[in-house]
Amino acid sequence: MGTLRGYDKRIMVTGGAGFLGSHLCERLLADGHDVLCVDNYFTGSRHNIAHLLNNTRFEAMRHDVTFPLYVEVDEIYNLACPASPVHYQFDPVQTTKTSVHGAINVLGLAKRLGARILQASTSEVYGDPTVHPQPEEYWGNVNPIGPRACYDEGKRCAETLFFDYHRQHGLPIKVVRIFNTYGPRMHPNDGRVVSNFIMQALKGEPITIYGEGQQTRAFCYVDDLIEGFVRFMGTPEQHTGPLNLGNPGEFTMLELAEKVIRLTGTSSKIVHKPLPQDDPKQRRPDIAKAKSLLGWEPKVPLDDGLERTIAYFRSRFL
Q: Which residues are catalytic?
A: 151
How many alpha carbons lie under 13 Å from residue 10 in its C-beta half-sphere? 16
- Cα dist. 183→31, 40, 103 in Å? 21, 22, 26
Nearest to 282 by CA among 140, 131, 83: 131
Nearest to 19 by CA among 198, 157, 192: 192
Phi, psi (degrees; rounded to nearest 5) at 89: -90, -10
Contacts of 220 (CB under 8 A, 6+ apart): 179, 180, 181, 182, 245, 246, 247, 298
Nearest to 218 by CA among 179, 257, 258: 179
**DSSP per-residue codes, 135-195:** -TT---B--TTSTTHHHHHHHHHHHHHHHHHHHHH---EEEEEE--EE-TT--TTS--HHH
- Cα dist. 104→65, 112, 136, 158, 232 in Å? 9, 12, 23, 8, 22
**Cross-strand pairs, 273:** 210
276, 171 Cβ separation under 8 angstroms = no
Cα 168 to Cα 2: distance, rounded to the nearest angstrom: 22
Nearest to 16 by CA among 109, 42, 7: 42
Phi, psi (degrees; rounded to nearest 5) at 197: -60, -45
232, 176 Cβ separation under 8 angstroms = yes
